Amino acid sequence: MTEEYWKEQASSILIAKIKRKNIKYHTLALMLKDMDKNIEETQNSIATKISRGTFSFAFFLQCMAALGIDNIELELNMEEK
């Protein structure tokens, strides 16, 4: 499986978690800032990271914390496209 495949998986998981909470990227940026004043994300930076799948695991964890998610089950699609 290619790196692009894994980036798509990571993005899909994060998008699903955000959608389940019915949160927009602008709101997520505000939630991240409220959680930690050192986090400087914008709606556009979040959208870019997620669409490219180029975010760190630390960013993923920050998003989970901001969304109030403390436990996740990975739903990986192991069939390569």
Contact 43, 25 (CB under 8 A): yes
Eight-state DSSP code of residue 78: -
Give the per-residue pLDDT at 41: 95
Nearest to 14 by CA among 33, 41, 65: 65
pTM above 0.75, yes or no: yes
Q: What is the pLDDT of residues 5-51, one digit of tens each?
A: 999 999 999 999 999 999 999 999 999 999 999 999 999 999 999 99
Q: Where are the domains of the chain?
A: 3-67
